[in-house]
Structure 1
Amino acid sequence: MTLTPPPLSLYVHVPWCVRKCPYCDFNSHEFKSGKSRGELPFAAYVDALLADLDHDLPLVWGRTVQTVFFGGGTPSLMPPEFIDRFLQGASARLRFAPGCEITLETNPGTAEHGRFEGYRNAGITRLSFGIQSFDDGCLQRLGRIHDSREAEVAVKLAQDAGFDNFNLDLMYALPGQDLAMAEHDLERAFALQPAHISHYQLTLEPNTVFAARPPSGIPDDDAGWDMQEHCQAMLADAGYGQYEVSAYARPGRQCAHNVNYWTYGDYLGIGAGAHGKITLGHDESILRRWKHKHPTRYLAEAGSDAAIGGDERITPERRPFEFMLNALRLVDGFELATFEKRTGLAAAAIEPQLRSATERGWLRIDAGTVRPTELGRRFTNDVVALFLTE
């Protein structure tokens, strides 16, 4: 089989945040004591991002960028003029598809009057708000810097600026939360009429404050499952179709950037700690590359080999596991033809694992499409583990 280069996305990491949340395992760095957001080196960081992009351009010559995503950290700390300068520089170096989806993650605690107009003028087409909850007690226990009123004000400021394509991140099974509180969070979200809702369970990730010192009052597994079931029904009734484990959207408003991840697409990762995955046609290989995490080191070394934290070629033996780790998150599953194009392997290479999963009731295969069953979605990790052969 021949590897076919999939759609290409661009991921841009902005590493700073006002305060590190105790559940967060992303590459995010608090301001130094006494430093204001206006003192952060945004001009130098945009220069570093463009130098980083220049360094990686040979990996993607001639390809078109379908989506762009600014993640963090808190990308909305970066003023619109710097987002604008980066996007102008990036679009001069890479061809952006017509109607390219360009998403900016934003923290309600950083929303200011006029800033969303600036982001829209810079080319941002989609926003993703890190709300997490509309309950002030839950927000305090999560270490968030905003309250429920600020969350609603931020969304309304964005709507006033002309944004109708936006996501709200909500978490459930929070410390001190019960079923009624989880349902109330969704009701508050529906009132804001988002195009997309990400609804996921709090997990205690390794190397976080919550992992070292778990908070009290976290609902048990049964209570968490009840919240998930009730909230899924509420989302469906409100017109949000589930298309991924924790993603729900109005018709036609799925996040194209994340769908590209989940279908084993390519993405160029630039910025401190950013990861990328690129299919290289000249030698039929798949490359993973990541950049050094610390902003100070990244600023000093961006654009040179020294900024690269590591490169890894994905062996053919590992590709089925990587593909399934992503694609089996999708409610509608994937086509076997897509598996062949994205991995360069024949579908016969995974026939034993597919057979085992279907016999256990985890997967359903129909007309060349593989879909997880409801049981399979509950045991996604077990299904994916079948494809781990190394």
Structure 2
Amino acid sequence: MFVFRSLPPLSLYIHFPWCIRKCPYCDFNSHALSEALPEQAYIDTLVRDLEQDLPLIWGRRVNTIFMGGGTPSLFSPEALERLLGELRARLNLAADIEITLEANPGSVEADKFAEFRAAGINRLSIGIQSFDNTQLEALGRIHDRRQAFAAAEAAHRAGLDNFNLDLMFALPRQSVDGALADLHNALSLEPAHLSYYQLTLEPNTWFYHHPPPLPDEDIAWQMQSRAQATLSEHGYAQYEVSAYARPGQQCRHNRNYWEFGDYLGIGAGAHDKLSDVTAGRILRRSKQRNPQDYLQARDFVQRQAQPNEADSVFEFMLNALRLNDGFDLDLFEAHTGLTRERLAGPLQQAREDGLIEADTAHIQTTERGKQYLNDLIERFLPDD
């Protein structure tokens, strides 16, 4: 049984499942838009979804909201303003709440940025991926280099200086110089935050079944290590495996995931994780995945499960070990409802192998541990 002294922080994730075109590397629940966007019907359904879930989070403060997809910026500013108004009427939102919207850099969407800010959105995450037109075409992106620059400049003009740029490396036939050129282009736009991650071939994607020619592991490692040095020189501190931020600009929503906080998910295919103090349990759920099924649903939950203690230990470590500054054992106990003794054996072995630094209060991954992160995480897998 999980014994919580208090509830973990709570975030809200809202999923928007439509995009203009499905990218060949994308394994998210996204669907190419083949007809008119059912904008008002989807907002209505999100509100119904939330209302069904209110008893699970009644009275709890929501610290962050993240609108992801798909491409949520396809929705009009008026629709998102209406949605945020519905949320404010039903939820206890923190006064300093972080509200992030994922956006693509197409020129039509960039023109909406000032209106998104007026609607209450205070952070953007812009999916650039590359500034090389050849790479953008290979990745199936619908924007070009010019639009990538224009989107970031539009964010600055709109007063949305707290924006993230998504950038990938180890792209098809990409050289180290090509990856660094992309990075310098991103830095020239002065984002507050940069998500810099390696292209991987995920199951159930076009690229997985039709693999493009990717750089080998040694070249990818050169790209990553040189990028880390460059980002540090420009004042961006790495705080998670693929996340870099200027001082005070870490993504609070993602940080809550990595620290095993709670999050409610609404929208087609959204997932959530909620702690229950009274029942001494953790509840994991996912919503109806197909957009049409979701729009017509009466009960939005498609699957739910209660992870056991061993599963929760692994899920916590899977995320927390990615953080550069590590985690306190007090946080493990508070957010899992378990005692720190559950970690003792694997932690001792990992420390002896030079993968972590640990004392009686704090755990932190070493440089060697970061290099062999998958091996480190696997030490906390539940026994079969």
TM-score normalised by the shorter chain: which range applies? over 0.9
Secondary structure of the residue aligned to 1:46 is: helix
Q: Aligned-pair RMSD on alpha carbons?
A: 1.0
Counterpart amino acid of residue 172 in structure 2:
P
Aligned match of 1:309: 302
Deviations 1:347-367 (A, max 9, x none): 111100100111111111135
CA gap of 1:193–1:111, structure 2 versus 1, over 3 A, is: farther
Counterpart amino acid of residue 294 in structure 2:
Y
Counterpart amino acid of residue 237 in structure 1:
E
Instruction: Say yes or no: does 1:369 pair with 2:362.
Output: yes
Aligned match of 1:66: 63
Aligned match of 2:118: 121
Aligned match of 2:31: 29
Structure-1 separation of matches of 2:359 and 2:191: 33
Which of residues 271, 281, 284 in structure 1 aligns to 2:280? 284
Aligned match of 1:81: 78
What is the 5 A alignment of 1:1-390? Answer: 2-3=3-4, 4-32=6-34, 35=35, 39-109=36-106, 111-112=108-109, 114-216=111-213, 218-301=214-297, 304-305=298-299, 307-390=300-383
Deviations 1:3-40 (A, max 9, x none): 131100000000000000000000000011xx3xxx21
Deviations 1:137-185 (A, max 9, x none): 1111111000110011111112111111000000000002101111111
Counterpart amino acid of residue 328 in structure 1:
L
> Aligned-pair distance for 1:275?
0.2
Structure-1 separation of matches of 2:237 and 2:61: 29
Q: Give ranges in structure 2 of 5+ residues lacking alignment.
A: none
The answer to whether the Cα contact below 8 Å between 2:103 and 2:109 also exists between their aligned partners in 1 is: no
> Aligned-pair distance for 1:317?
2.0
Deviations 1:281-303 (A, max 9, x none): 110110001001110000000xx
Structure-1 separation of matches of 2:161 and 2:29: 29
Instruction: Give the count of matched residue pairs.
Output: 381
Structure-1 separation of matches of 2:228 and 2:79: 38
Deviations 1:171-227 (A, max 9, x none): 0000021011111111111111000000000000001000000012x1001000000
Range with bigger deviation, 316-325 or 122-131: 316-325
Secondary structure of the residue aligned to 2:377 is: helix
The answer to whether the Cα contact below 8 Å between 1:111 and 1:154 also exists between their aligned partners in 2 is: no
Counterpart amino acid of residue 263 in structure 2:
Y
Structure-1 separation of matches of 2:371 and 2:49: 40
CA gap of 1:319–1:112, structure 2 versus 1, over 3 A, is: closer
Q: Which runs of 4+ in 1 moved over 3 A?
A: 110-114
TM-score, normalising length from structure 2? Answer: 0.97
Q: Give ranges in structure 1 of 5+ residues lacking alignment.
A: none
The answer to whether the Cα contact below 8 Å between 1:15 and 1:27 also exists between their aligned partners in 2 is: yes
Secondary structure of the residue aligned to 1:318 is: helix
Structure-1 separation of matches of 2:84 and 2:107: 21
Structure-1 separation of matches of 2:246 and 2:3: 36
Counterpart amino acid of residue 173 in structure 2:
G
Structure-2 separation of matches of 1:30 and 1:273: 15
The answer to whether the Cα contact below 8 Å between 2:107 and 2:150 also exists between their aligned partners in 1 is: no
Secondary structure of the residue aligned to 2:309 is: coil
The answer to whether the Cα contact below 8 Å between 2:110 and 2:155 also exists between their aligned partners in 1 is: no
Deviations 1:268-324 (A, max 9, x none): 0000000000001110110001001110000000xx32x211111111121110100
The answer to whether the Cα contact below 8 Å between 1:76 and 1:110 also exists between their aligned partners in 2 is: no
Counterpart amino acid of residue 20 in structure 1:
K
Structure-2 separation of matches of 1:380 and 1:53: 37
Structure-1 separation of matches of 2:13 and 2:242: 20
The answer to whether the Cα contact below 8 Å between 1:267 and 1:278 also exists between their aligned partners in 2 is: yes
Counterpart amino acid of residue 27 in structure 1:
N
Secondary structure of the residue aligned to 1:127 is: strand
Counterpart amino acid of residue 148 in structure 1:
R
Secondary structure of the residue aligned to 1:170 is: strand
